[in-house]
Amino acid sequence: MILYTIPLSRTLKRLFMMLADTIMLIGALLFSCLLLGQDFFNQQQGFYLALAISTVLSIAVFTRIGLYRMLVLYMGLHSAVALIQGVTLSAALLAAAFFVLLEEQSANFAVLPIFWMMALLFIGGSRFLGKVMLQSLIQNFRPKEPVIIYGAGSSGMQLVVALQNGDQYLPVAFVDDSQNMLGSTVHGIRVYSPNSLFELIETYSVRQILLAIPSATHAERKEILNRLEHLPVHVKTVPDLFDMVSGKAGVDQVRDIDIEDLLGRDIVPPNPELLGACIQGQSVMVTGAGGSIGSELCRQIITINPARVILLDSFEYGLYEVESELRDKLGSIEGGDKIEVIALLGSVCNQAQMENAIKIFAVDTVYHVAAYKQVPMVEKNIVEGAQNNIFGTLVAAKAAAKYKVKNFVLISTDKAVRPTNYMGATKRLAEQVLQAMAQQKSETKFSMVRFGNVLGSSGSVVPLFRKQISSGGPVTVTHPEVTRYFMTVQEAAQLVIQAGSMATGGDVFVLDMHEPIRIVDLAKKMVHLMGYDIKDENSYRGDIAIEYTGLRPGEKLYEELLIGESVTGTEHPKIMRAEEETLSWKELEPLLNKLEAACKRIDLPAIRNLLMEAVDGFEPKEDVADPLWEIYYNGSGQEESVAKAPAAKSKVTKLFKE
Residue 577 makes CB contacts below 8 A (sequence gap 6+) with 502, 507, 508, 509, 510, 567, 568, 569, 570
Cβ–Cβ contacts within 10 Å for residue 226, how many? 12
CA atoms within 13 A on the CB side of 463: 7
> Hey, is 600 helix, strand or coil?
helix
Question: What does residue 208 show for φ and ψ, rounded to 5 degrees?
Answer: -140, 140
β-pairing, 407-413 vs 517-518, is unpaired
Rounded CA separation 549/535 (Å): 16
124 DSSP 8-state letter: I
Rounded CA separation 491/297 (Å): 10
Residue 360 burial by Cβ neighbours in a 10 Å radius (0-12, 13-18, 19+):
exposed
For 9, 368, 410, 419, 593, the CA distances from 427, given in Å and listed in that order, are 68, 12, 10, 9, 17
Rounded CA separation 252/248 (Å): 12
> Hey, is 238 helix, strand or coil?
coil
Q: Are 414 and 636 in contact (CB under 8 A)?
A: no
Question: What does residue 477 show for φ and ψ, rounded to 5 degrees?
Answer: -125, 140
| Residue 222 designated active-site | no
CA-based torsion, 255, 257, 219, 205: positive or negative: positive
Q: Are 340 and 332 in contact (CB under 8 A)?
A: no
Q: Are 394 and 376 in contact (CB under 8 A)?
A: no
Of the listed 373, 380, 415, 574, which one is catalytic?
A: 415
For 253, 299, 380, 456, 503, the CA distances from 492, given in Å and listed in that order, are 27, 13, 28, 11, 17
> Hey, is 9 helix, strand or coil?
coil
Q: Are 627 and 642 in contact (CB under 8 A)?
A: no
Rounded CA separation 88/71 (Å): 21
β-pairing, 445-451 vs 407-413, is parallel
For 40, 70, 299, 341, the CA distances from 329, given in Å and listed in that order, are 68, 36, 8, 11
Residue 607 burial by Cβ neighbours in a 10 Å radius (0-12, 13-18, 19+):
buried
The separation between the first and the last C-alpha atoms of the chain, rounded to the nearest angstrom, is: 63
Rounded CA separation 101/50 (Å): 6
Sheet-wide strand order for 575-578 = 340-345, 308-313, 283-287, 365-368, 407-413, 445-451, 507-511, 575-578, 567-569
Q: Are 288 and 266 in contact (CB under 8 A)?
A: no
Rounded CA separation 86/119 (Å): 10
For the annotated catalytic residues, the residue numbers are 415
